[in-house]
A and B are shown apart, each in its own frame.
Chain A
Amino acid sequence: MNVTVFGEGIERVAVREITPSITWITHCLGDQVTDYYADFFAGMENPEEFVSNRVVDYPYSAFIIKDDKSILFDTIAPRQRANVLKALELALGDRSLDYIWISHVELPHGGNAAAIQKQYPDARLVTMRGGDHYGLHGLDDALLVAPGDVIELGQHTIEMVDALFGDHGLTQWAYERTTGFFYSADWGHNLHEPSRGQCFMFVDEMEATGYTREQFVDDVKVNARIQFPWLAWTDVDEIAAAVEKFLQQYDIRIFAPSHGNVIRKDPQKYLKLFPEAMRQAVALAARAAR
């Protein structure tokens, strides 16, 4: 595993290449995970509804696609700022950064936008049209985009995707048409175990250390329960149908969530589990709301 790690503990940031044109930049806690997430599953309202009580880590990620132009998806948080800037320098080398694309305005997603723009003054902020008052969120003068809009990088084309499930009102997803890279922001996470050495692994590598599809369903549903508590008031069939329709619409070959490890091999093995995982998430949220 060829990974470069800058810093340590709550400030560390790792850089790993997914393909020669796509780089994963991620923060997770590693050895310090028990300080924050020791009871991730046990602390839920329905702990019996999960297949295992793993001590899991919760990554915060950004991604770069390099071409004639380059784009950064999300920024990680101010706590990791110094190491994010080092990671960008490593990932970009001599290239410029042309776009800083923000999925939504929470600090772990957009909290370093201004600092990165200061380092790369030609980079244009990109965020979702429809919101108002982006100055309040530190995103003045952003290019506002809507689902279906595209940004051409050269060989790569970024398509803005309507976020079916956002934990913040103004959330967008992104799909790259050439590679099938899909950035899902806060949806569809897997969780990894530092004690099994799974930090910075791709999911196919995690499988070799014990990660299972049953655990994946657990991870998707526990995250959906936390991120989207409003699922309690939805129709389970409508949610599952929306997921199925979405998966038919996009040929996803690299699934890249903000808070999970990257799925780069045989993604269908996991993508096909999403409708059922979301069904379970709706049921879980509804029971928790009672």
Chain B
Amino acid sequence: MIRNVTEDLVQLGACVEGDHGHEAVRVYVLLNNGRPILIDCGSHLHRYSLMQELEEVLDGSTPEYVFLTHTELPHSGNLPQIASRWPDIKVMVSHIMTRYIEIVPVLPLAQITTVFPDTTLELAGRKFLFLSALLKDQPSTHWIYDIKTRALFTGDGFGYYHAADKCDQFADEIAGGIREEQFRAYQVNVFRHMRWVIPEKFNADLDKVFQRLDVSILAPTHGDAIRTEIPVHLARVKQAVTKISNDFRHGGR
């Protein structure tokens, strides 16, 4: 479903349903004055509806870049369709990525660029900061901060499961926002390494990211955009990390 997060930032994609509830699989589009940029490119499962949504949102303009938070199929599975439709599109991935083998081979390697963390780049006339993801389910995950909208694209970080009647709703449209239990249910499933993590150490580093960046929008791939009450939701994610770690500590790692 197409939803405007802001005038310039659009959220696309669908949900999948499973034992833990609904899981969103999002693609974000920065319209960027006719020089669009995609953040992640969705699942092959949703390729038909997703390509229709992209055509509608792009309205004839050609996307210049796909920024992949990482290359797992829920984030890159629709790349073959995008590469076929817009063969000149360029892909930005983390420097940890081995380009020739960790991404579906549908574009010339010259169109895939790796980025080191803490790098600010001007791409399609717009400045972005690429930083190492703190919540990652794949080593080559990075987060991307759009300096103009102050949106932080977090891949699997800040993901959450939602109820069947809450599809496509932004956090500010749901009474109380996203609950700690929703973040926790997702994180315990995706970030299994949390069983080893000492929450105080992790949460301190997560705080540093938000002290450094003035984040106004959290844009997870597996959740809908969070446009308000960022500190509240950050605190809930940290609570979820603490509970997961403590549960493992008491239940055995």
Contacts and interface: CB of A to CB of B under 8 A. Distances in A.
A106 B96 CA distance: 14
A233 B192 contact: no
Contact of B139 (A77, A229, A235): A229
Q: How large is the interface on A (under 10, 10 to 19, 20 to 34, 35 or more residues)?
A: 35 or more
A51 interface: no
B114 to A, nearest CB: 11
B45 A169 contact: no
Interface stretch (A130-138, A194-202, A264-272): A130-138
Interface string A105-144: 1111001000000000000000000111101111000000
Contacts of A78: 104-105
Contact of A170 (B20, B105, B136, B192): B192
Contacts of A10: 100-101
B73 A132 contact: no
Interface in A214-247: 226-235, 238-239, 242
B43 interface: yes
B138 A168 contact: yes
B79 to A, nearest CB: 11
B170 interface: no
A169 B18 contact: no
A135 B16 contact: yes
Nearest to B138: A168
A261 interface: no
A238 B196 contact: yes
Nearest to A223: B139
Interface string B198-211: 10011001000000
A132 B72 contact: no
A107 B102 contact: yes
Contacts, number: 104
A233 B197 contact: yes
Contacts of A165: 193
B43 A136 contact: yes
Interface residues on B, range: 35 or more
B69 interface: no
B16 A166 contact: no
A79 interface: yes
A107 B201 CA distance: 31
A239 B72 CA distance: 27
A132 B19 contact: yes
B139 A133 contact: no
Contact of B193 (A58, A80, A166): A166
A132 B74 contact: no
Nearest to B133: A229
A77 B45 contact: no
A30 to B, nearest CB: 13
Interface string B1-39: 000000000000000101110010100000000000000
Closest 3 CB pairs of A and B: A132-B18, A233-B201, A136-B74
Given A106-B71, A171-B192, 20 more contacts: A36-B98, A80-B101, A107-B73, A107-B104, A108-B101, A133-B23, A133-B74, A135-B16, A136-B73, A138-B77, A168-B72, A168-B137, A168-B138, A169-B191, A226-B96, A230-B193, A232-B205, A234-B196, A234-B198, A238-B253
Interface of A: 10, 27, 36, 58, 60, 77-80, 105-108, 111, 130-133, 135-138, 165-171, 226-235, 238-239, 242, 289
Interface of B: 16, 18-20, 23, 25, 43-45, 71-74, 77, 96, 98, 100-105, 132, 136-139, 189-193, 196-198, 201-202, 205, 253
21 contacts: A27-B101, A77-B102, A78-B104, A78-B105, A106-B71, A107-B73, A133-B18, A133-B74, A165-B193, A166-B193, A167-B138, A169-B189, A169-B190, A169-B191, A170-B192, A228-B193, A230-B196, A230-B202, A233-B197, A233-B202, A234-B196
